[in-house]
Structure 1
Amino acid sequence: MSMLRRATTWEISASEESGTETEEVGGGENKCNRTERISTSTSSSSSTLLPPPPPPRPGAAADPSPAKKRRSKEEIEADRRGAEERREGRERRRTARAQEKEERREEQLRRREAAEHLKTLRPENCIKTLTVCIDPALLQQHGSDLLLGSLAACHWRFSIESQQLPHSISWTRDLAQEKDGAAFLEEEQVLLVLTMVDFMDLVFAVSKMLHGDRQELEAEAGSVLCPLYECLNRDAMKVVTLLVTDSEYRTNTHGDETLQSNLGMNNLDIEEVLVYLQLYKNVSLVFVADWQDVTDHVRSVTKALSKRPLRLLAEREELPFCVDGSWASGVRVERDGSGLIQVWGKQMEQLNRVSPAVASRVAAAYPSPQLLLQAYASLDSEDERKRLLAGLLVKSEGKERRVGPEISARIYRCFTAQNPELVLD
């Protein structure tokens, strides 16, 4: 060992000496390089000469590593609940998105169906669902072929079948397809085409019925009145129009004179019959010249029936000018009743020379028309009722004034008068 140490010491010493000489000659850079080589050779010599470290014993334990912190049951349970809540949240969001998507799809479907339904209600499409039903007895009259030719030229549907009311023309409307087949709806409009002779028999029978035993005369009446009464009794909503075909009786004056001469009845009796048919049986009368006029009347009624569904739909909807919010100095009334007092004030403003300030003051004193009427009823004399609102103070533009007896009396007459033609001023 001593020899090894001396050799090492000698080598280092020699290196230091040589390094010192080189430093003096060559400078600091060569000195660093040599020093590194000396250190490397020294470490290599030491590793070569030193014995290797002994191997670890089999029973020896490895180096201790940092131990992991064990979680408690509460922490594990909290983590599990958090994971479940996050999973449930994702499921709820997924369900909400699916529900929202389904609602949007249903809303689009409803809008599409509403648009299709509205499209079918247009007159040009609705007229395709109408069928003109003609009684076969009418085809025996001269000129009835004009009606069939006109319907065929317009590409309108018509059918020739026996009607409940003979010599009549009615209409049916096809509805949506059902499981049992196509359903149809009978329209209320009915045209009863009569000759002048049949019409005179009808007028004579109705006149005798009005001045005699109604039940007996109904049973003995001719072939026109009995079916007409049976049809009206079967369906009170039917609207029957009598078309009297004779060019000689187109005007009411000429017709009345001819009826008077043929029936021996004066104008008052004839008017009584016509008024009775119109008011009590909802039957109107139209004199036409020939079957061309009958055809024109049928076409007019058919076009009017084709426009009816769209008009009924427009009547059920809100008025187009009644928009939400204020419009034309109007007031919107909510479901809870808020806004009614403003409507009460606007109602009084409609009276002549009743300003908004006066109307607001009266509405503040009597918040409803019923309270004002009760106040009128509690007073004994008419003069007291007229002067009930005269003493109310009204503030307008920084000034105070009273309602006055004139406006008070006008408001009183407006809400208590029974005469609709009464002039308030």
Structure 2
Amino acid sequence: MRTAVHTISSDEESNDSLPDIGVSRKPITAQEEPETFTLSSDGEEDKNCHETLNSVVRENEIEDLQDVCEPGSLSYHIEDSSHILEEDHTGPHTKKRKSEEVRNEKEAKKRKREEERKEKEAKRKQREEERQRRAAEKAEAKAAKEAERTSKRALKPGECMKYVVVEVDRRLVETVAGSQVVGQLGQDGGGVRYRVVDAPVPAAVTFIRVNPLTLQESWAEEAVVVMGAEEFVEVVEDQIYGRALMDGRGLCHLCRTWQTKLHAPRLTLVVAGIDEYLKGQKSKKQHQVRSALLGVHGGCAYEHYNRIDIETALVMAQLECDVNHRLLSSPEKIATFILQVTKAVAEAPFKRERNEALFSWYAEGSSSGGVRVDKGGVGLLKLWHQQLRQFSLVGVEVAQAVAREYPAPRTLMKAYERCATSQEAALLLADVPIRRGTGVLASTRRIGPELSKKIHILFTSTDPDQSISQKT
């Protein structure tokens, strides 16, 4: 059966905004197809008709059509048409919104991946920095250990001479003794480095230490000054006979000046050829005395100084200025002595470190008197005897007597704790008998108060510096 077709037409001469609509009220059965509505325009096909229809649908003016139509016929198709129109008009916006959501989601994932990459990169850099830091610490520790090893090796007697430089004054080198000194240092001394300089003190020898790691030089506290016999005797006369107070040329004043100029508080004065000089002066005096006795004029003035004056001046310099001295007779001996001083200066840090005590007291390291104690406790009594025999004048009988009354140190400590006063505890062992010998020759004596007090101090004192012989 043919369905009714409703036509919406409009005349060009009509002034209405909407076309007239003819409606058929024939009901639609189940076997019949739904009515189809066709919108047509007699005039120009432009956009006015579509815009008008859309406005009618949006403003709910479709209700006028529902009033003249049967329920379920027109309304269904118009609603469906409006849905199609609405879907056609809103579809691009939905697609655009979905595309924006997809794009935003992709950008979010991309940002997340970028953040994860940056985080991994930061962790990688952190691990690299940590690895470099550990490597640097390891290298630094290795360098410090190597430097310590090098420093210790440089202090040993076989290597220390390489890190000492001897500076010899030019005026000393020009003498016979100076040439001997240079020869001893350069050859017999194992190749000790030396320099010829213009020292502030004539005929002075100074010493410089070289750091084995940084090769920096520093002045040593030791120095040697070589004086001739005639110059030395003049200084001694000024020191002994009071002229040092007037012109300041005494031996003590001169030694203080040398110490300041050479930056060497430990100064050694070497006097060359004093014995030969004194012998010559003695012969000269004897000649003068003989001439005076024979009535020969001239040379009657006597020298005021002698060996006692020289020794007195040297002792004064040693006490007041802490200056050592050597009276040497030949240039060879002077050169040998300077070489010995050089070795002493080089080995001084090693000997000082070796002789440093870690504690204010020390016990003997000898293990010859050790007592062996096994896991079963065999040997503890002998060890207790040995501990008691640490005291002077304590023999086997005394140790056995104390151990007989108190078999272990713990029993002795408990006995001390039971004493009412400290004086009673100090005299606890005074009356312990000591048996000596056997048979008819056997004798008995007491331990006595002094040893009893010493043992009490050993086991009860809390002062580590308390003397064990201190009277209580």
- Following superposition, the deviation at residue 193 of structure 1 comes to 0.8
- Out of 156, 160, 168, the position equivalent to 1:134 is 168
CA contact (8 A) 1:132 1:170 kept: yes
Equivalents in 2 of 1:193, 1:279: separation in Å? 20
How many residues were matched structurally? 281
Equivalents in 2 of 1:283, 1:258: separation in Å? 31
Segment drifting more, 304-313 vs 263-272: 263-272
CA contact (8 A) 1:122 1:307 kept: yes
- Following superposition, the deviation at residue 293 of structure 1 comes to 0.9
Q: Please tell me whether residue 350 in structure 1 is matched to residue 391 in structure 2.
A: yes
**1:30-70 deviations in whole A, cap 9, x for unaligned?**
xxxxxxxxxxxxxxxxxxxxxxxxxxxxxxxxxxxxxxxxx
**1:113-155 deviations in whole A, cap 9, x for unaligned?**
2222222223343212222111122234334322223323242
Q: What SS class does the counterpart of residue 159 from structure 2 fall into?
A: helix
- Out of 200, 210, 223, the position equivalent to 1:164 is 200
- Following superposition, the deviation at residue 255 of structure 1 comes to 11
CA contact (8 A) 1:123 1:307 kept: yes
Equivalents in 2 of 1:350, 1:236: separation in Å? 50
Q: Which residue of 1 aligns with 2:269?
A: 242
**1:161-214 deviations in whole A, cap 9, x for unaligned?**
122322211111223676xxx6311112211111111121222222235xxxxx
Q: What SS class does the counterpart of residue 185 from structure 1 fall into?
A: strand
- Out of 130, 145, 150, the position equivalent to 2:184 is 150
- Out of 110, 113, 117, the position equivalent to 2:144 is 110
Q: What SS class does the counterpart of residue 146 from structure 2 fall into?
A: helix
Equivalents in 1 of 2:233, 2:262: separation in Å? 25
- Following superposition, the deviation at residue 302 of structure 1 comes to 1.4
Cα RMSD of the aligned pairs, angstroms, is 5.3
Segment drifting more, 260-269 vs 221-230: 260-269
Q: Which residue of 1 aligns with 2:27?
A: none
Q: Please tell me whether residue 231 in structure 1 is matched to residue 275 in structure 2.
A: no
- Following superposition, the deviation at residue 296 of structure 1 comes to 0.8
C-alpha change, 1:121 and 1:316, in structure 2 (3 Å) is: same
TM-score, with normalisation over the residues of structure 1?
Answer: 0.50
The one-letter code matched in structure 2 to 1:168 is: A
Equivalents in 1 of 2:173, 2:366: separation in Å? 60
C-alpha change, 1:223 and 1:279, in structure 2 (3 Å) is: closer
C-alpha change, 1:363 and 1:185, in structure 2 (3 Å) is: farther
Question: Unpaired runs of 5+ in structure 2?
Answer: 1-119, 287-301, 371-385, 434-444, 458-466
CA contact (8 A) 2:252 2:321 kept: no
Q: Which residue of 1 aligns with 2:296?
A: none
C-alpha change, 1:277 and 1:104, in structure 2 (3 Å) is: same
Q: Which residue of 1 aligns with 2:330?
A: 290
- Out of 449, 452, 463, the position equivalent to 1:405 is 449
Question: What pairs up with 1:232-381 in 2 under 5 angstroms?
Answer: 232-233=259-260, 238-246=265-273, 248-249=275-276, 264-265=304-305, 269-316=309-356, 349-353=390-394, 355=399
Q: What SS class does the counterpart of residue 349 from structure 1 fall into?
A: coil
TM-score, with normalisation over the residues of structure 2?
Answer: 0.46
Equivalents in 1 of 2:166, 2:127: separation in Å? 58
- Following superposition, the deviation at residue 299 of structure 1 comes to 1.3
**1:296-325 deviations in whole A, cap 9, x for unaligned?**
111111122222232233234859xx89x9
Equivalents in 1 of 2:264, 2:430: separation in Å? 56
The one-letter code matched in structure 1 to 2:240 is: S
Q: What SS class does the counterpart of residue 415 from structure 1 fall into?
A: coil
Q: Which has more helix, going by share of residues?
A: 1
Equivalents in 2 of 1:306, 1:195: separation in Å? 27
CA contact (8 A) 1:249 1:287 kept: no
Q: Which residue of 1 aligns with 2:439?
A: none
Equivalents in 2 of 1:108, 1:150: separation in Å? 39
- Following superposition, the deviation at residue 271 of structure 1 comes to 3.8
The one-letter code matched in structure 1 to 2:155 is: L
Q: Which residue of 1 aligns with 2:427?
A: 390
Equivalents in 1 of 2:218, 2:393: separation in Å? 51
Equivalents in 1 of 2:270, 2:237: separation in Å? 17
Question: Unpaired runs of 5+ in structure 1?
Answer: 1-86, 210-215, 331-344, 368-373, 377-386, 418-425
Equivalents in 1 of 2:311, 2:415: separation in Å? 55
Q: Which residue of 1 aligns with 2:21?
A: none
Equivalents in 1 of 2:447, 2:128: separation in Å? 66
Equivalents in 1 of 2:200, 2:414: separation in Å? 63
Question: Identity of counterpart residues, as a percentage?
Answer: 19
Q: Which residue of 1 aligns with 2:96?
A: none
C-alpha change, 1:108 and 1:263, in structure 2 (3 Å) is: same
Q: Which residue of 2 aligns with 1:415?
A: 469
Equivalents in 2 of 1:199, 1:174: separation in Å? 33
CA contact (8 A) 1:119 1:125 kept: yes
**1:232-290 deviations in whole A, cap 9, x for unaligned?**
3568862222211117359xx98998999985356665443222211221112212122
CA contact (8 A) 1:200 1:263 kept: no
Q: What SS class does the counterpart of residue 231 from structure 1 fall into?
A: helix
Q: Please tell me whether residue 189 in structure 1 is matched to residue 222 in structure 2.
A: yes
Q: Which residue of 1 aligns with 2:235?
A: 202
**1:3-46 deviations in whole A, cap 9, x for unaligned?**
xxxxxxxxxxxxxxxxxxxxxxxxxxxxxxxxxxxxxxxxxxxx
CA contact (8 A) 2:150 2:212 kept: no
